[in-house]
Amino acid sequence: MRELNKQDMIDVLYGCTVLGTGGGGPLEEGLALMEQHFEKGETLKLIKLAELPDDEYAVTPYGCGAPSASGKDPKFAGLKLAEESAPVLAVQALESVLGKKIYAIGSTELGGANTAEALHAAIEMGLPLLDADPAGRSVPELQHSTYYIKDVPIYPMGVATHFGEKIVIQNVQNDLRAEDIVRAIAVASDNLVGVADHAHQGKVIKESLIPDMITYAQEIGAILRKAKEAGEDVAKAITDEKEGKILFKGSVTEFPWETRDGFNYGEIHLKGEEDFAGDTYKIWLKNENIISYRNGEIDVTAPDLICMIDENGDPITTPGFEIGQKMTIIALPAPKAWTTPEGLACFGPKHFGFDIEYKPFER
């Protein structure tokens, strides 16, 4: 076990936003959620998977949905917001059904807001956070999880709205059905809900997750911070130290997108600058960046990470782009779990309707 202080947690969230590949929620929301803990000087206990007892329960809280760039739907204006965050409410709903307190909190994915939900829930409930993750990045669908490829049930799961309503799903036929149910609740709740799922004992959890991912995110966040402090190229610093690659530098020319069925779908079009002058780049996204094209030819695909860094060295999330906004696109390698046949069937390009084989990017 080790203890994370304010700077450690900020580094974690910055790193998670890089690894969020455009999704995982805005970093600003994650930092705002954690500010109450920072002001109190609170710290967070981080435990390795091996430190989780076999017979104790861990659970994964997070936000689910697609944040709107146009603001709150007026039909929700008359509803009072709950005082507690929706993911914490979802954990509490699960505890009431299990009849047992949760021992540890896990993150559902690495993202600026969603990982903050796990940090917040852990501190708020006085629980340690697992140094592990079932995605190693942000992902658009609930079944994009190492739990899914290892056939670990998503239920029991708690769902809570930002208006305080709590729902417990005690069983569901499969993760795809769970996705449909949760997304339907999100659509009826201003496109965002809190979820707490995979409430299982340590002996199951330890065989299911990608270890050391919170530490990995913290390392990336620290690289970013130190590069900015030194006036260095953040994208180059990250790719040099984490086996990545700079894919493109340019500015946004257009970004058509829409929210549909609880997801943000869209494209980011860029024109090249500096060494990439005269070239074009396009990223197709479903909440997260999934596939990219350079000059019309496929460049990188999921499960490899397509990450965006702005001209100030900060990570970028979708969909709030501006015409002319400058960014550097980098690739980072996918966790090994996603490059297995089972992982690619779940989260490779064919899952998203692209009839191509996954090929890892070349450094």
From first to last of its 363 residues, what are the pLDDT tens digits of the chain? 999 999 999 999 999 999 999 999 999 999 999 999 999 999 999 999 999 999 999 999 988 876 555 556 778 888 999 988 898 999 999 999 999 999 999 998 999 998 998 999 999 999 999 999 999 999 999 889 999 999 999 999 999 999 999 999 999 999 889 989 998 999 899 888 999 999 999 999 999 999 999 999 999 999 999 999 999 999 999 999 999 999 999 999 999 999 888 789 999 999 999 999 999 999 999 999 999 999 999 999 999 999 999 999 999 999 888 999 999 999 999 999 999 999 999 999 999 999 999 999 988
Residue 175, pLDDT score: 85
Distance (Å, rounded) from C-alpha 142 to C-alpha 64? 9
Spell out the residues 6+ positions from residue 251 whose beta carbon is closer than 8 angstroms to its own. 270, 271, 273, 324, 325, 326, 327
Spell out the residues 6+ positions from residue 44 whose beta carbon is closer than 8 angstroms to its own. 3, 4, 8, 9, 37, 119, 122, 123, 128, 129
> Tokens 């490779």 label which residue?
348
pTM exceeds 0.75? yes
Fold for the domain defined by 231-352: CV3147-like (2.40.390)
Count Cα atoms within 13 angstroms, Cβ side, for 122. 27
60, 86, 53: which is closest to 154 by C-alpha? 60
* 3 state SS of 78: coil
Residue 303, pLDDT score: 98
Residues of the chain with CATH 3.40.1610.10: 2-211
Phi first, then psi, for residue 216 (nearest 5°) are -60, -45
Helices and strands (H and E) in the chain: how many = 10, 18
Phi first, then psi, for residue 229 (nearest 5°) are -60, -30
Residue 241, pLDDT score: 98
Surface-to-core class of residue 146, CB atoms within 10 Å of its CB (0-12 exposed, 13-18 middle, 19+ buried): buried
Handedness of CA 134, 136, 141, 143 (dihedral sign): negative
Burial 165-178 (b: 16+ CB within 10 A, else e): bbbbbeebeebeeb
- Spell out the CATH class of 2-211: alpha beta
Residues of the chain with CATH 2.40.390.10: 231-352
* 3 state SS of 166: strand
Strands 297-301 and 288-294, how do they pair?
antiparallel
